[in-house]
Amino acid sequence: MKVGIEDICFYTANYVLDMAVLADVHGIEVEKFYQGIGQVEMSMAAPDEDIVTLAAAAAKPIVENHDMSQLRTVLVATESGIDQSKSAGVYVHNLLGLPSHCRVLEMKQACYSATSALQMACSLVARQPEQKVLVIATDIARYDLNSSGEPTQGCGAVAMLVGANPKLLEIEPVSGLFCEDVMDFWRPNYRSTALVDGKYSTKVYLRSLKQAWQDYQEQGGHSADTFSYFCYHQPFTRMAQKAHTHWLKQVKKELSAEAIEQQLEPSLVYNRRIGNSYTASMYIGLASLLDNTQENLDNKRIGLFSYGSGCVAEWFAAKVQPGYREYLRTAYHQQLLESRTAIDYPTYRRLYEFPNPTDGGDHQNPHETTGPFRLSAISQHKRLYEKTSS
Ligand code: HMG
């Protein structure tokens, strides 16, 4: 029996900042952002958007197109938690009108947790092949203003329906794992922005890649030659390019620049325009790879490297299912990116600084999102969500 991804769909906020605007304000050559870190734009959430509205919007097209009666589990992966106790997934479950007989929870380990959620989903389906699991990764990446991380912000969510006999991707059972207690990036409960040791974090990322691949080999994983395409965690797209070069060196493969680009570039198309979306980042990359590869990927093996600071990393493999193209959402994804509203620097600052209430007052949010769900208010310490007419 094959277990894997039946459907994948992402969503991102409808405001977008061109990195040229940030470069101009900071007096930096825009090529440092466009080329040096490989980011052209970043999505910015409206005041009435959060990880719940992004997650529900990502999953909505999937819920509308599949029979949800066998859905038994909803797993939401995020590191932008909105509550220390209640899972963001419970709000999402309600907004989507999902079946009541469902286990719903939130998972956390920096950007890695969506991979853990996907693996858990595959295990559940392997035990009971008739059941479906909805995995949603959703995050809003925030760093301090004027910090080196500022150009690597962004936001987005991606939803995946996991089941038996998948239409898109079989997730193969062998994984290579690595964990190490490091302080490369973290966010204490009292902060709304992450703390990061940027250069160190890139070193730990690459070290973890090496270790995870080594473990994948020791666990009986496929040889390097059997992989046709690659998708790495993308805090910024240049990181994925560095990672692939690093991996090629490790497996002692020498490829032309064109061949390297062919293996990796399709996975970078969407993230270059969305920015970091933490847990969602690698899976938006996966959607990008499926949507943007010219070659028919039937039966091709994709190598995936998931990394979450702190840190936990995993190398695993997905096999593209014959006829997958019929089930892609390419036009919808592209339209989503094209229809965003470009913002200027003052608007970026207004969104960045929009207050997050901490008292129990009645805080109504302006209606700005064009998405199907909104956070209409925070009142008496309760988050109030509503469906829009979109
Ligand atoms: P920085 O220090 O400002 O940048 O920020 P830099 O000076 O290293 O320059 C970046 C690149 O631009 C360099 O290229 C420069 O040469 C080039 P490289 O040497 O790396 O190949 N450059 C130019 N290129 C063209 N024209 C120019 C120009 N000027 C310079 N004019 C840093 C970089 C990554 C430190 C920063 O963006 C940062 O702190 N980001 C946040 C941390 C991060 O993303 N780390 C990645 C690994 S950790 C991870 O992935 C986990 C994470 O997603 C969180 C989680 O798990 O939850 C972050």
Phi and psi dihedrals of 30, rounded to 5?
Answer: -60, -25
Residue reference for tokens 């900042």: 17
Substitution candidate for ligand 1 out of 31, 32, 246, 305 with most atoms within 8 A of CB: 32
pLDDT tens, per residue, the chain with 390 residues:
999 999 999 999 999 999 999 999 999 999 999 999 999 999 999 999 999 999 999 999 999 999 999 999 999 999 999 999 999 999 999 999 999 999 999 999 999 999 999 999 999 999 999 999 999 999 999 999 999 999 999 999 999 999 998 999 999 999 999 999 999 999 999 999 999 999 999 999 999 999 999 999 999 999 999 999 999 999 999 999 999 999 999 999 999 999 999 999 999 999 999 999 999 999 999 999 999 999 999 999 999 999 999 999 999 999 999 999 999 999 999 999 999 999 999 999 999 999 999 999 999 999 999 999 999 999 999 999 999 977
The four Cα atoms 40, 268, 54, 158 give a dihedral, to 10 degrees, of: 180
105 lines ligand 1 (CB under 6 A): no
Does pTM surpass 0.75? yes
122 part of the active site: no
Q: Can you tell me the distance from the alpha carbon of 162 to that of 307, in angstroms, rounded to the nearest whole number? A: 21
152 lines ligand 1 (CB under 6 A): yes
User: Is 161:172 a contact under the CB 8 Å cutoff?
Assistant: no
Catalytic residue among 6, 41, 49, 79: 79
367 part of the active site: no
Catalytic residue among 9, 41, 106, 111: 111
- Kindly give the number of the ligand 1 atom that is closest to the alpha carbon of 79: 57
Q: What is the DSSP string of 55-102?
A: HHHHHHHHHHHS--TTEEEEEEE-SS-S-SSS-HHHHHHHHTT--SS-
